Copies of this chain bind each other. A is one copy, B any other.
């Protein structure tokens, strides 16, 4: 996305907003999720700095595309395969903050994986979140398989896999896109391109300028969007999802995420939360006071969820050897894994 000034950026948000049938209320709701994710992310970072929290990476700058996806996909029906970067996605999908903190604390009560995985490898059968490993790109193939299975079962569910631009260098990406293209499966391959993989810049990762440039090699529909513009993202995902759901085949969608540098230096242009806020203020959907209130409500939710997670006994529901195989233990998993105490999906939404 070429450089722009702050005004032009707001103008672009406005334009994208206009193309959608979103009400100001809808926009506000998306802003709330982005804000909640941002504040949770900062809260987690703070805990990490203090040594109170395990690993995990920031979703800063990635909130717009993630929240847009959560809104446009059918939660509970569609299959979602996130990667470790997708905190805003799972929050907006309705994963309780309590669970998120249990997960980040590595608690044995964490319904995602009970301390088996490092943080940020989410899993929720109820929300359709497929458990991801820590091995980059393997899940892209799973998405292709899930989507083809849905096609065979004549299900309307689509499948969305999320990954960074670095992951597209793995053979799994190639094999997944190739298969998906041949069978025109209902899958969205969503690349959150933040320009860097650990220390490796995109220029050492691939020769092409855009990951979406790889779509034609697979006969797959490619889309390139501004990943920091939540309305553009929602509109693109809506189009892509409709295409995938209606037999139009897979989409490789690249959401360009501003670099951390740019976001730091010119947040008014590059920070998706910051610029959406400005837009909503200009639109009149938000006031400074309402924004302050919303932030406080979010902060309180986060604090409460964290404290509750902290106070939750952090030891064993299952023996460490359980679930290596189905016959160990014999009980049906779904009944066991939800701990008694948990927010409902709605409760994760910040109150006005």
Q: Which of A174, A182, A218, A219 has the most CB of B within 10 A?
A: A174
A193-245, CB < 8 A from B: 203-208, 213-214, 216-220
A9 sits at the interface (CB 8 A): no
Which residues on B sit within 8 Å (CB–CB) of A33? Answer: none
Which residues on B sit within 8 Å (CB–CB) of A189? Answer: none
A170 sits at the interface (CB 8 A): yes
**Chain B nearest Cβ from A301, distance in angstroms:** 43
**Chain B nearest Cβ from A56, distance in angstroms:** 28
Q: Count residues of chain A with CB under 8 A from any CB of chain B.
A: 23
**Which chain B residue shows the least CB distance to A214?**
B217
Question: Given that A175-B169, A181-B207, A206-B181 are contacting pairs, would A217 and B216 also be in contact in the complex, using a CB cutoff of 8 Å?
Answer: yes
Against B, the Cβ 8 Å flags (1 = close, 0 = not) of A156-199 are 00000000000001111111001001100000000000000000
Which residues on B sit within 8 Å (CB–CB) of A170? Answer: 171, 175
Report the separation of the CA atoms of residues A203 and B183 in the bound assembly, to the nearest whole angstrom. 10
Report the separation of the CA atoms of residues A218 and B213 in the bound assembly, to the nearest whole angstrom. 9
Whether A216 and B218, one on each chain, are in contact in the complex, defined by CB atoms closer than 8 angstroms, is no
Question: Given that A169-B178, A171-B171 are contacting pairs, would A213 and B206 also be in contact in the complex, using a CB cutoff of 8 Å?
Answer: no
Report the separation of the CA atoms of residues A285 and B279 in the bound assembly, to the nearest whole angstrom. 78
Which residues on B sit within 8 Å (CB–CB) of A178? Answer: 169, 206-207
**Which chain B residue shows the least CB distance to A207?**
B219
Q: Which of A216, A217, A219 has the most CB of B within 10 A?
A: A217
Report the separation of the CA atoms of residues A216 and B213 in the bound assembly, to the nearest whole angstrom. 8
Whether A213 and B217, one on each chain, are in contact in the complex, defined by CB atoms closer than 8 angstroms, is yes
**Chain B nearest Cβ from A155, distance in angstroms:** 23
The answer, among B171, B213, B216, for a CB contact under 8 Å with A174, is B171
**Which chain B residue shows the least CB distance to A182?**
B207
**Chain B nearest Cβ from A205, distance in angstroms:** 8
Report the separation of the CA atoms of residues A182 and B208 in the bound assembly, to the nearest whole angstrom. 9
Question: Given that A171-B172, A178-B169 are contacting pairs, would A216 and B220 also be in contact in the complex, using a CB cutoff of 8 Å?
Answer: no
Give A contacts to B, CB under 8 Å. Answer: 169-175, 178, 181-182, 203-208, 213-214, 216-220
Q: A169-B178, A181-B207, A207-B220 are in contact. List 10 more A-B contacts (CB 8 A).
A: A171-B171, A171-B172, A171-B174, A171-B175, A174-B174, A174-B175, A206-B218, A206-B219, A207-B218, A208-B216
- A/B interface sample: 15 pairs, CB < 8 A: A170-B175, A173-B174, A174-B174, A178-B206, A178-B207, A181-B208, A182-B204, A182-B207, A206-B218, A208-B217, A208-B219, A213-B216, A214-B217, A216-B216, A216-B217
Leading 8 A-B pairs by shortest Cβ distance: A171-B171, A207-B219, A174-B174, A181-B207, A217-B217, A214-B217, A182-B207, A208-B219
